[in-house]
Copies of this chain bind each other. A is one copy, B any other.
Amino acid sequence: MTIINLDHISSKPLLPDVKEAMIEAINNDYANPSSQHKKGEEAAEALEKARESVARLINSNMPKEIVFTSSGTESVNHAIKGAVLANAEKGKHIITSNIEHNAVIRSLRRLKSDGFKITSVSVDENGRVNPKDIADAITDQTILVSIMHSNNETGTIQPIEEIAKITKEKKVLFHTDAVDSVGVVSIDVQKMGVDLLSFASNTFYGPTGVGGLFIRRGTVIWPLLDGGVQEGNKRAGAENLIGIIGMGVAADIANRDFDARLDHLNKLKNRLLQELPNYIDEYIINTPLEDSLPNLLSLSIKYIEGESVMLMLDDEDVAVSTRSACATGSLRASHVLLSIGLDHADAQGTLVIAFGVDNKEEDIITFLTALKHIVKTLRDISPLSSKTH
């Protein structure tokens, strides 16, 4: 079956070159990179080559600033818990926003039960944090600010550089969850000024189950995984070398194709925005047109349920999502959409359309044609809709 994938935020396909590199790695029978014999050294070299490629993608000029992890989630847990526990003696206050990913929310909830205080700043109707709110929230007890780079449900990009100026001045560590940004939009850790930045390989068409954490030189955080001396003593455990090699190649290609990808994604998003009124009415675009991910559009369709639309589109071989795949199983309305001011009904009627490099403009028309029919069917049976139509 050929499925039109408009759910790239949940999962992106591996690029052909990434597949090839991973298959080569599988067939190469690498040894343990920590072993001191020849076979071990060969593995260690492959590991460091991937680290250089990934460092280049976020413009770190020191590959040692990159720690490989098993996912964006591990990177976030490592950054937050590691930073907080290493600095617990300085204070017990952490600042975040109310639109973060579950990895941030639940890591902080864990710390809260351990006696840490969390301030969660609100966002405006575009889902954006006001840097002034961060500045106002910082006290002499604050040890960490964690604000995501881009939101995985609305695509909103946060003013990270401005926030970093504030945290730097106040000498507070700053972590940004950039899992949906690295490899999609330009990320320059030198310019941004963050201390910690989490990312994941699949965002740039590398394998899932591989991530990275940028730890700025001189930033001391505790490991999350204690044990062996891997990753410069920052993260113990035998490396997923096959996955890391795939991530390295994906980073190289992301660097090479960066501008072309951005053009392609912007073109798809603009086409969707332009065609949308020709197919459906009464909808809300939750994604701000300025400073947002080029590959994502959040769309709330009035009087119907997003989950029903998603399942009916699935029958037509079009994959979209209603929210973060990580929150699957939760029936509650998205905290992100409520935070930007949507009511519960509109939040439940939301689809996240996420493009990838493999999408074509025709995919948008196929999607919209199916969507038009589904929206009509659902509204015809919707009690909410019958009141107003």
* Of B7, B70, B102, B210, the contact of A35 (CB 8 Å cutoff): B7
Closest Cβ of chain B to A112, distance in Å, is 11
Mark interface residues in A165-181 (1 if CB within 8 Å of B CB, else 0): 00000000000000000
Task: List residues of A (229-262) whose CB comes within 8 Å of B's CBs.
Answer: 229-230, 236-244
Digitize A208-221: 1 where CB-to-B-CB distance is under 8 Å, 0 elsewhere.
11100000000000
Q: Is A106 an interface residue (CB 8 A)?
A: yes
For A311, the chain B residues whose CB sits under 8 A away are 36-37
Question: Which of A1, A107, A200 is most buried by chain B, counting CB atoms within 10 A of its CB?
Answer: A107
Residues of B within 8 A of A106 (CB): 226-227, 236
| A102 x B228 contact (CB < 8 A) | yes
Identical copies in the complex: 2
With A26-B19, A222-B110 already in contact, the answer to whether A229 and B327 are too (CB < 8 A) is yes
- Interface pair B39/A3, CB less than 8 Å apart: yes
Q: Is the CB of B19 within 8 A of A31?
A: no
Contacting pair A326 B229 (CB below 8 A): yes
**A202: interface (CB < 8 Å):** yes
Contact of A225 among B5, B74, B324 (CB under 8 A): B74
Give Cα A74–Cα B223 distance, bound, in whole angstroms: 11
Known: A37-B310, A209-B243. 10 other contacts (CB 8 A): A10-B40, A11-B40, A32-B325, A36-B311, A70-B237, A73-B226, A106-B226, A228-B327, A242-B243, A243-B243
A23 neighbours in B (Cβ, 8 Å): 23, 26
**Which residue from B30, B34, B38 sits with its C-beta under 8 Å from A3?**
B38
**Contact partner, A227, options B76, B208, B319, B330, Cβ 8 Å:** B76
The 9 closest A-B pairs by CB, nearest first: A209-B240, A228-B326, A70-B70, A103-B227, A71-B237, A73-B237, A106-B226, A11-B32, A37-B314
User: Given the known A-B contacts A23-B26, A210-B240, A236-B102, are A226 and B32 also in contact in the complex, defined by CB atoms under 8 Å?
Assistant: no
